[in-house]
Structure 1
C-alpha cells in the first residue's frame, strides 16, 4: 500500500510535463505565425514597390497588377539619379540626421543624468514636463517653431531641422530610465573618491550606457530621416531638401511616372533598412535594458 502512492506520482509527472511541453510548442508556433503575418504585411508593399520600379511606365499603365509584364530593367533608377538631385537630398538628410543624433545624445543624456541622480529644486516639475512632452503631438509645435526660427533667421538652414529634434522627451526618458538603474554604491564610491558630477557622468555613467545611447541614436536617425512636415515648411530650395520632401515633389498629378517614383522611393528608404539590419541587436538590447515600451 505504501508503495502505490509514489508509483502513481511518478506516473502522473511525465503526463504533466508532456502537457506543459505541448502548450509551450503550441504557443511558440502561434508566435511564429503571428510574426510571419506581420512580416508579410510589411514586406508586400516593399516588394511591390521594388518590382514596380523595375518595370516600364507603359507596362505599368497597361497591366498594373501583372508584375512580370513588359520585363524588368534598371532604367528607372538611372533616369531618377540623372534627372533628380538625389545626391543632394541624400547628403542633406545624412548631414541633418547625423547632427541630430550627436546633439540629441549629448543633451538628452545630460538631462536624463540630472533628473535621475541629481537633487535640485523643481526636479519633479521638470520630470512631469518631460512626461507631458511625450503626449504632445509634433504637429502642434509646427506654428510656434516656425515663428521662433523665422525670428532667429534660421529658416532654410540645417539648424532649423537639427535643433527641434534635440529637445526629445522620449530620449530624455530613455536615459533617465537607464541611469536610474545604475547601482547607487557605484555612484557613492565615485563621489567618495572625489569625482565631480561631470566626472561621474562622463567617466562612469556614459561608458556603461551604450545600450541607451544606441537606442536613442538609431531612433533619432530614423525619425530625422523620415521627417516630412517640418522640413517641407523650412526648406525652400530644391537642392537643400531632404529625401522625403524631395520624393514628394516627384509626384505630378497630370503625368505620374510610376517607375521613376518607385525607384526614387526605394533609393530613399534603403539607408533605413541598412541601419536597422546593422544595428538591430543594439535596438533590442537598448529597449530591453531601459525598459522602453
Structure 2
C-alpha cells in the first residue's frame, strides 16, 4: 500500500474588505433646496422666539422715560443704563424671596422625582388587580386644569393649618401625573433579566429599585428633575394665593407686588423678568445635555 505523503500547504490569507469611514457610507440625503428651506424656516422661528427676549433685555436697560417714548426706539438717545437693575437689587427682600424660591423649587423637585419614580416603577413592574384602571386614572389627572383645584386645595390647606407655611406651598405641587407616565415608559424598557439576576443573588425589590433601576435611569431622572424645577420656580398662582406673609413670598410673587406698589414701570418690569429667569437659564446651560439625552431616550431602557 502506497504511503500517503502530505502535500506542502501554504497559509491562506483572507482578504479583508477595506474599512469605510462613516463619511464614505452612502446615505439618503434630501435635496439641497429642501435643506436650505428647512434651515431658513428654523432660523425664522428661532428669531421670532428670541425677539421678545431681546426686546425685554433692551427695555430693561432703558430709562423709564424712554420706555414709553413715541416712536419706540431700539437704542435710546440717552443710552443704556442699569438703573432698573439697581432699583430691583436694592430691595432688601429680594434675597429672602430668592432663598424662598430656591428652597421651594429644590424640595418640590426632590420629593416629586422620588414619588413619581416610585409610582412609575410600581406601575411598570408590579402586577395587581386594577393596575390598568389606577394607571388610567393617574394619567387622567393631566387633563384636569390646575385652576379648578385652587379652591379645594386652599380650603384643605386652611383646614390643616398650613396657610403661610412652606408645607402649604410645597405639598400641592408634588402631583405630576405626566412625569409618572414618562418614567413608567422608561422603566418598561429596562430589561427584566437584570432584575431577575439580582433576585437570584438575594436582592429585594427596594434594593433592585435603588441600586439597579435608578442608576440606569439617570438621564431621564435628570430631565424630569429639571422640568419639575422649572415649573416650581415659575409657579406664581399657588404661592400668591396661599401666602400673605412677606417673609414667605417667592421671587415671582414678590417681584409682582413690588411693581404693583410703584405702578407700572416697564424698565423695572423687564428687569425683574430677566432676574427671575436668569437662574433657569443657568440651570439649562449646565444640564442641557441631560435634558436632551433624557428626552431622546424616553422609553429606551438601559440608555
Normalised by the shorter chain, which TM-score bucket?
A: 0.7 to 0.9
Length, aligned pairs only: 274
More helix by share: 1
Q: Residues 277 and 35 from structure 1, CA distance in 2 versus in 1: closer, same or farther, beyond 3 angstroms?
A: farther
Shift of the alpha carbon at 1:272? 1.1
Q: Distance in 2 between matches of 1:236 and 1:78?
A: 26
Shift of the alpha carbon at 1:281? 1.4
- Tell me, yes or no, if the aligned pair for 2:56 and 2:270 is still in contact at 8 Å: yes
Shift of the alpha carbon at 1:278? 1.7
Counterpart in the other structure of 1:68: 75
Note the 1:214-293 alignment, pairs <5 A.
214-252=222-260, 255-291=263-299
Deviations 1:98-144 (A, max 9, x none): 00111011111111111001122221122111110111111111111
Could you tell me which runs of 5 or more consecutive residues in structure 2 were left unpaired when the two chains were aligned: 1-25
- Tell me, yes or no, if the aligned pair for 1:250 and 1:261 is still in contact at 8 Å: no
Q: Distance in 2 between matches of 1:64 and 1:176?
A: 54
Deviations 1:183-222 (A, max 9, x none): 1111211122221110110111011100121111000000
1:130 to 129, 138, 142: 138
1:54 to 47, 61, 68: 61
**Misfit runs of 4+, over 4 Å:** none
- Tell me, yes or no, if the aligned pair for 2:188 and 2:299 is still in contact at 8 Å: no
SS of match in other structure, 1:198: helix
- Tell me, yes or no, if the aligned pair for 1:51 and 1:67 is still in contact at 8 Å: yes
Q: TM-score, normalised by structure 1?
A: 0.87
SS of match in other structure, 1:153: coil
Deviations 1:241-278 (A, max 9, x none): 11221222233498422212211111111111111122
**What is the root-mean-square deviation in Å for CA atoms of aligned residues?**
2.1
1:37 maps onto 2:40 in alignment: no
Decide which structure has the larger Cα Rg and report it.
2
Q: Distance in 2 between matches of 1:253 and 1:32?
A: 46
2:149 to 123, 141, 148: 141
1:28 to 23, 28, 35: 35
Q: Distance in 2 between matches of 1:124 and 1:30?
A: 45
Counterpart in the other structure of 1:92: 100
Q: Residues 271 and 194 from structure 1, CA distance in 2 versus in 1: closer, same or farther, beyond 3 angstroms?
A: same
Q: Distance in 2 between matches of 1:38 and 1:250?
A: 34
Counterpart in the other structure of 1:83: 91
Of residues 90-99 and 279-288 in structure 1, the stretch that sits farther from structure 2 once superposed is: 279-288
Q: TM-score, normalised by structure 2?
A: 0.84
Q: Distance in 2 between matches of 1:168 and 1:255?
A: 36
Could you tell me which runs of 5 or more consecutive residues in structure 1 were left unpaired when the two chains were aligned: 1-16
Shift of the alpha carbon at 1:24? 4.5
